Amino acid sequence: MRLRTGLALPFGVLLACSPGLGCRPASPAERLAREIAGAYPERAAPTGVVRTFDIEAREAELPLVDGGKLRVWAYNGQVPGPELRIRLGETLRVRFTNRLPQPTTIHWHGVRVPNGMDGVPSVTQPPVEPGATFVYEFTPKDAGTFWFHPHVRSSEQVERGLYGVLIVEDRAPAPYARDVVWVLDDWLLDETRQIFGAFNTPHDLMHDGRWGNFVTVNGRRDTALAVRGGERIRLRLLNASNARIYAPDFGALEPQVIAVDGLYLARPIPLGRFELAPGNRLDLDITLPSAPASRSIPVVDTFYGNMPNHLADVVIDGAAAGPPPRFPSPAHARVPSWSAGLSIPPTKEFHLDARRGGSYGIEWTINGQAFAGHEHHAPPMLTMDRGGWVRLRFINDSYRLHPIHLHGMFFRLLARNGAPVDEPFFRDTVLMHSKETIDIGLVPLDAGKWMMHCHILEHAEAGMMTLFEVRG
Ligand code: C2O
Ligand code: CU
């Protein structure tokens, strides 16, 4: 652990002290590192309760999209997969069996797990071969909305239907009338209304990955959330698409954002326009009107404002018993601003681009390197010290979209194209637009080898992945 003991002196000078070396004034990066204290727990606090789930990945035929029989790959025969709900402090044990015709793994997106449970093939575990089993076991450190999906050939396996939500409830959950999950996905179906069987096509690779022709919420195009007027609900959104970005618009409902990528905000903020990229989660606190102008409120995606997509409906049926309950939205004790971090030079820069070559004809690269899937033993592109503050700069040299995702740690977005951005929350995934440069700040707290990749799964599959190592 390299977080040094800090001493706050009267006039605000911080000292960095290390055994045998004495004390000196803390450097700017050391001061920023200390701001992580209290932002989220450094380690898990297991209560001793173990929650065991059996999960099997196998082929299935399900009435998805419009009710037709869709041949998919599914966890426990369901798409979305089973909703795993545990309480903070409980240990999750998943006995996983692979009944697919391919090797696979489960990655716990956004969960700060011990490195060996991260589900990255040949890096944190061998791939789970067809017929084989693997036990995932860990105690989440954070309450929130997380998800799980394969990390082997994910552009095919996630697209075929392998994903599920993991909800870690607070020790004492806030008294929402309902706590509901909406998993957003899109499907590219062929003329027989089955999953289009060509993956990682040159078209997908040259553009923003595979965008489907049917958008679903919880697997259906007719999802309607039945609520009562005056109720206060918690709605958790997950984008499980390979590539499609959503900007959910709730019309007159005016949701408040209480969590992004699992973690609570310092205080709720109005939804406004939020670009929900693949991998992102958004937890909303919505109070339904008691006398709505209309009983059915459509929720649409306005990412491309000129062609909104209908996602689902909120249907208000009857009035609630009393006035909306008053309780504070759950919030997070501390979210460091790290605005001073922009005056420190970036620790490292990453250039994102494409070139001809590789097994798909096009490769997506990070600093000129394409991760070929068998380079797990290559040296990590970045080595960080546990507990140290770093600023990373990502430069999109391409015209395409790249939702950048880091395993094993949360970060704050500091700037877009050099202009400071003040998002009062952490993320594990951030969307980069065409030719954009972003800066992020973070303090890694868990040792191990963690992936950094684009969550447009076709881009990742074609090379836009690399490893970061956290020492300590
Ligand atoms: Cu959902 Cu490597 O990520
Ligand atoms: Cu990308």
Q: For tokens 């957003």, what's the residue?
A: 184
CA 460/CA 151 separation, integer angstroms: 10
399 C-alpha to ligand 1 centroid (Å): 22
451 lines ligand 1 (CB under 6 A): yes
Nearest ligand by distance to the CA of 457: 2
Instruction: Return d(Cα 350, Cα 330) in angstroms, integer.
Output: 35
- What's the distance, Cα to Cα, between the start and end of the chain in Å? 6
Ligand 1 site, residue 281, Cβ cutoff 6 A: no
Cβ–ligand 1 distance for 405 under 6 Å, the answer yes
CB 419 within 8 A of CB 364: no
Ligand nearest to the CA of 278: 1
The strand order across the sheet containing 429-432 reads: 382-385, 465-471, 448-454, 402-406, 429-432
Q: Whose CA is nearest to atom 1 of ligand 1?
A: 109
**Phi/psi of residue 410, each to 5°?**
-105, 155
Q: Which ligand is nearest to the CA of 166?
A: 1
- Rounded-to-integer distance, Cα 347 and Cα 57, Å: 40
Q: How remote is the CA of residue 457 from the centroid of ligand 2, in Å?
A: 8
The rounded Å distance from CA 261 to ligand 1 centre is 12
> Residue 60: left (phi > 0), alpha (psi -120 to 50), or beta?
beta
- Ligand 1 in reach of 459 Cβ (< 6 A): no
What is the per-residue pLDDT for 18?
Answer: 80
Within 13 A of 83's CA, how many CA atoms are on the CB side? 13
Alpha carbon of 119 to ligand 1 centroid (Å) = 9
Residue 453 CA to ligand 2 centre (angstroms): 8
Q: What is the pLDDT, as a whole number, of residue 315?
A: 97
Q: Which atom of ligand 1 is nearest to the CA of 151?
A: 2
How many A from CA of 5 to the centre of ligand 1?
34
For ligand 1, say whether the CB of 456 is within 6 Å of any of its atoms.
no
Collect the ranges in the chain with pLDDT lower than 70. Answer: 1-13, 333, 373-376
pLDDT of residue 373: 65
Ligand 1 centre to CA of 228 (Å) is: 36
For the CA of 451, the closest atom of ligand 1 is 2
Task: Tell how far the Cα of 405 is from the centroid of ligand 1, in angstroms.
Answer: 7
**Is 210 near ligand 1, meaning CB less than 6 Å away?**
no
Nearest ligand 1 atom to the CA of 120 is 2
**Closest C-alpha residue for ligand 1 atom 3:** 109
What per-residue confidence (pLDDT) applies to 19?
80
Q: Is the CB of 112 under 6 A from ligand 1?
A: no
* Interatomic CA distance for residues 327 and 240, integer angstroms: 31
Distance CA(326)–CA(439), nearest Å, equals: 38
